[in-house]
Homo-oligomer: A and B are copies of this chain.
Amino acid sequence: MAAQTTLHLPYDRYFDPDPAQKRIALELYERVAGLPLICPHGHVDPRLFADPDYDFGTPADLLIIPDHYVFRMLYSQGIGLEQLGLPARDGAPVEQDHRKIWQTFADHYYLFRGTPTGMWLTHELADVFEVQEKLTSASAQRIYDQVAAKLATPEFRPRALYARFNIEVLCTTDAATSTLAYHQAIRDSGWGGRILPTFRPDALVNVDAPGWQQELDRLSEVSGIEAGDYRSYIQALEQRRAFFKQMGAAAADHGVASPYTQELTDAEAEAIFARARRGAASADDARRFVGHMLMEMARMSVEDGLVMQVHPGSFRNHNPALFARFGSDMGADIPTATEYTRNLHPLLAKYGNAAGFRLILFTLDETTFSRELAPLAGHYPAVKLGPPWWFFDSWNGMTRFRETVSETAGLYNTVGFNDDTRAYPSIPARHDLARRVDANWLASLVVRSVVDLEGAHEMAHAAAYALAKQAYRLG
C-alpha cells in the first residue's frame, strides 16, 4: 500500500456512517458551525491579549512545550521531558533545538491516533496553519517551516486570531490574589475583544498546601485587609470577589480533591485557620476547612451572583519524582472516584433552591454522569452540569455524556461547551469537535424519531451557543 501523505480533514468527518443519520447530522452541524465561540471556562493566559504584538515563539513553543496533553503521551512511551524542551528545576540540560523537539514529536505522532489530541492537532495544522500533508518523520521539517512562517505573520498575533476564530467572549482563570493587571491592560488598550477573569481561590483555601502562608500574605496585600484571622480572611475574599466582578468576572471556580461540604461554626473555622497560620493544620483540618469554604463560596455566589463552578476529583502531581524535577501540570494528574450525592448534601440543602444561585458541576468520574449528576441537575434549580472535562473532552467522552445524562437531566440542565484549554490555537478545533458530537447525537435522535428536526435544530443551537451564554450570564 502506498503511504498516504495528504492531510485528510473531510467536511463530514466524525459523523456516524449511516447515510440517513449523517445527512441529518450535516444539516444540523451546518447551521451551527459558524456561530461565534463562547469560551466561559479555560486557561488561556490573558497576557496574550494585553500585548498586541504577542509572539508565540517557535512551533514547539506553541504546540508541544506548554501542552501536557501532548507531552504526557510521549512521556508514557519513554520520551523524557528534557528531550521535549521542558525546563527542569534541577537545571539538568534540556533540548534547546526546537527543530529536534519537533522531529521527536513527528516521529511519534502515530501515538495520537484515535485521541482527541490527535484530532485537535490535525484540525489545527490543517485549518489554522493550512498544512496540507500528514505530519510524519519525513514531512516534519517542512511542516515546521510552514508553521514557523505563519507564526511570523501579523495574522498570527492572538488578537488577530481572536477575530479569525470568531470568539465572542473568553474567560480566563485567575488566582484570587491576582491584580488582574493584564485584564486591566486589555481594557485600557481599547481593543474590542471580550476577555473576562474568573475567580479561583484554591491556593487560599487549601490550608495545608506548602505555599498557603505566602498566598495569605498576598491576599492581605492585594485586598488591603489584613487577613490575620478567619473573619478578616473571609472579608478579604469578599473584597477580591467584588474586585473580580467589577473587572467583568462572571464566575468563580473551585478545584477540590473531593466535593465534600460541611458547614463549620465560626469558632471551628477560626480554630482551624489559627492552626493553619501556625503551620499546624492536620489533613483532616484541611479537608474540613475546604468543605466549609465551599459552603462559604456558595453563600458568596448567592449574594454576588458569580456562577460557582466545581472541578473535583483530580489527584494532582501523582508522580513525585516528576513533580520534583518539573513542577505541576506535567500530565501526572490522575482522576479518582468522586462522590457527589452525600458530599454536596449540606451545600444543596442550604443553597440548592436559592434564587439566582448557579452551581456548575464537573467530573473526572464518568460513572457519576447517570448515577448522581444527572439526577441532581434534573432536580435542583441551582445545579447545572458542565461539559465533559479533561479526559472526557473527546468524541466518545462527549457522546457518552449526552447518552447518559440527557435522559434524566435533559439538554437544558447542561451548560454547553467549555474548551478549558491553555492551547489558544486549539480553541476552534475543540468547539468544532463538540458541535459535531452534538450534531451527530441529535441526528441519532432525529433518525430514530425521538425528537423532530425542528427540535433538534433548537437543541443544536442551544448546545453550541445559547446554553453557555445563559449559564454564565454572558448575554
CA distance A130 to B81 in the complex (A): 55
Interface residue A190 (Cβ < 8 Å from any Cβ of B): no
B residues in contact with A3, CB < 8 Å? 454
Partner of A335, one of B341, B364, B381, B448: B341
A406 to B119: give the CA distance in the assembly, Å.
Answer: 13
Asked if A185 is an interface residue, CB under 8 A from chain B, the answer is no
Q: Which residues of B contact A444 (CB under 8 A)?
A: 17
Smallest Cβ-Cβ distance to A403: which chain B residue: B396
Report whether A370 and B381 are in contact in the complex, using a CB–CB cutoff of 8 Å. Answer: no
Q: How far is the CA of A223 from the CA of B339 in the complex (A)?
A: 42
Question: Do the beta carbons of B76 and A380 come within 8 Å of each other?
Answer: yes
Least Cβ distance of A319 to chain B in Å?
A: 6
Contact B454 A1, beta carbon cutoff 8 Å = yes
Knowing A13-B450, A371-B366, A406-B115 touch, does A76 contact B378 (C-beta < 8 A)? Answer: yes
| CB <8 Å contact, A410 and B112 | yes
A212 contacts the other chain (CB 8 A) = no
A384 to chain B, nearest CB (A): 9
Give the size of the chain A interface in residues (CB under 8 angstroms): 97
**Is the CB–CB distance between B353 and A322 below 8 Å?**
yes
Using a CB-CB cutoff of 8 Å, which residues 413-452 of chain A contact chain B?
A: 413, 444-445, 447-452
User: Which residues of chain B have C-beta atoms less than 8 A from A331's C-beta?
Assistant: 378-379
A275 at the interface (CB under 8 A from B): no
A377→B320 contact, CB < 8 A: no
Q: Do B376 and A366 have beta carbons less than 8 Å apart?
A: no
Q: Are A320 and B341 in contact, CB atoms less than 8 angstroms apart?
A: no
Closest residue to A315 on the B side, CB-wise?
A: B341
Whole-angstrom distance between the Cβ of A347 and the nearest chain B Cβ: 12
Partner pick for A371 among B365, B394, B407, CB 8 A cutoff: B365
Asked if A457 CB lies within 8 Å of chain B CBs, one says yes
Cβ contact within 8 Å between A318 and B332: no
181-225 of chain A: CB within 8 A of chain B: none
CB distance from A311 to the nearest CB of B (A): 15
Q: Which residues of the partner chain B approach A392 to less than 8 Å between Cβ atoms?
A: 370
A319-B352, A322-B353, A342-B315 given; A76·B379 CB < 8 A:
yes
Q: Are B13 and A448 in contact (CB under 8 A)?
A: yes
Instruction: Determine whether A56 belongs to the interface, using a CB cutoff of 8 Å to chain B.
Output: no
Within 8 A of B (CB), among A328-375: 331-337, 339, 341-342, 345, 348-349, 352-353, 364-367, 370-372, 374-375
Contact residues, A1-43 vs B (CB, 8 A): 1, 3-4, 8-10, 12-18, 20-21
Instruction: Write the chain B residue with the least CB distance to A345.
Output: B318
Cβ distance A464 to chain B, nearest Cβ, rounded Å: 16
Q: Which chain B positions have C-beta within 8 A of A75?
A: 379, 381
Q: Is A242 an interface residue (CB 8 A)?
A: no
Inside 8 A of A453's CB, which chain B residues have their CB? 1, 4
Taken together as a complex, chains A and B put the C-alpha atoms of A403 and B403 apart, in Å, by 14
Task: Determine whether A243 belongs to the interface, using a CB cutoff of 8 Å to chain B.
Answer: no
Task: List B contacts of A353 (CB < 8 A).
Answer: 319, 321-322
Question: B448 touching A116 by the CB < 8 A rule?
Answer: no
Give the complex CA separation of A113 and B407 in angstroms: 9
From B335, B352, B367, B455, A113 is in contact (CB under 8 Å) with B455
Q: Would you list which residues of chain A between 67 and 111 have a CB under 8 Å from chain B?
A: 72-73, 75-78, 110-111
When C-beta atoms are compared, the residue in chain B nearest to A369 turns out to be: B366
Known: A333-B375, A370-B392. 10 other contacts (CB 8 A): A8-B452, A17-B448, A315-B341, A319-B348, A331-B379, A336-B372, A337-B371, A366-B370, A396-B403, A397-B407
4 tightest A-B CB contacts, nearest first: A13-B449, A394-B407, A17-B447, A17-B18
Q: Which residues of A contact B (CB under 8 A)?
A: 1, 3-4, 8-10, 12-18, 20-21, 72-73, 75-78, 110-116, 119, 134, 315, 318-322, 331-337, 339, 341-342, 345, 348-349, 352-353, 364-367, 370-372, 374-381, 383, 391-392, 394-397, 403-404, 406-413, 444-445, 447-455, 457-459
A sample of 14 inter-chain contacts (CB < 8 A) reads A9-B449, A16-B448, A17-B447, A72-B379, A75-B381, A110-B458, A111-B410, A111-B412, A114-B450, A318-B341, A333-B375, A364-B371, A374-B391, A394-B408
